[in-house]
Structure 1
Amino acid sequence: MTAQAPDQLRVDGHWLIVLERTLNAALPEEGCALLLGKTKDKSLELHRVWPCCNRWEPARERDHRFLLDPREQLLAQRWAREHALQVIGSAHSHPTSAAIPSQTDRELCFGPTLMVIASGLGNKRWRAWWLSGDDDGCEPRELPLRQGLAAGDQRLGK
């Protein structure tokens, strides 16, 4: 993952459908996935969604906490390398709260990284965040989420 902050996340609409179904399948718990893609110029491009199991313990807290399985992370990294991609970040759901990184999300992140959050509330369902992980910690900066890997400029999450 590049340490330089991207200026946007470009997503093919198909992968948003896959991501939405992956996260919804975990309800009422938080769902989670790894995001595989590429860095192109100053943009991140999402090319694949790697569904993951929420391994947070104790299990009764999975409605507001998630933990990616380290074995799934290793498999995703290996697969991504074999297909000229990289793990560009992760996604998870906030079934009962806004699509903003929680204090726990920020404390447990290893930046620099991309974090996409889907909310079960309100109009702005999808939001993308860049967490730098520099001396300021993992302070989130919202990224525009744009549909289409080509020339389109349709904003998502609004």
Structure 2
Amino acid sequence: MIKFSQEHLQTIRTHAESTYPDECCGIILGYLANEGKTVVEVMPTENAWNTQAAAQFPGERTTESKRRQYTIAPEVMLKTQKQARDRSLNIIGIFHSHPDHPAIPSECDRLYAWQGYSYIIVTVQNGKAGELRSWSLDDTHKFQVEAIENII
């Protein structure tokens, strides 16, 4: 389970709408506990997908654009990881949007996902954010739906 405030969920939706028709992305910081993950901060980031980023990944992804792919620049991930550690937080997830597609992980989402993280996907239909779902990898590297709980 992952726990979000309404403000955090709205930040994700707003970022997704602002980048439409491209995919948005961002980093989720928080705490890990036995009862699940608690979100403390949602950090929208730039979608750094470009031909140089595409060259880092094998296969057909090199022909894709920001409308169907996202990446967070490695230097942004490293900087955020250090800042989180300094604040006694963890990177607990990544969010991104699926413009004009369901909030269901793609095969590329699965291939490049890391266990232990929550993957929040928000669908954006015609510029308006819709369904938002959380996914996490199981022991066989398959995505499973993760419950989202709203906190005050």
Q: TM-score band (shorter)?
A: 0.7 to 0.9
* Aligned positions of 1:23-102 closer than 5 A: 23-58=16-51, 61-102=65-106
d(CA) in 2 for partners of 1:42, 1:95? 32
Partner AA of 2:17 in structure 1: N
Q: From the two aligned structures, give the one with the greater strand fraction.
A: 2
Q: TM-score, normalised by structure 2?
A: 0.83
User: What CA deviation, in whole Å up to 9, does each residue of 1:101-150 have, x standing for no partner?
Assistant: 101100111223210000124x9611001113x4x2x300101111006x
- Where do 5+ consecutive residues of structure 1 fail to align? 1-7, 150-158
In percent, how many aligned pairs have the same letter?
25
Q: From the two aligned structures, give the one with the greater helix fraction.
A: 2
Contact 1:9 1:45 in 2 (8 A): yes
Is 1:148 aligned to 2:151, yes or no? yes
How well do the aligned residues superpose, as a CA RMSD in angstroms?
2.0
Following superposition, the deviation at residue 72 of structure 1 comes to 0.8
Q: Which of 101, 124, 133 lines up with 1:127 in the alignment?
A: 133
User: How many positions carry a matched residue from both structures?
Assistant: 139
d(CA) in 2 for partners of 1:28, 1:95? 6
Contact 1:11 1:45 in 2 (8 A): yes
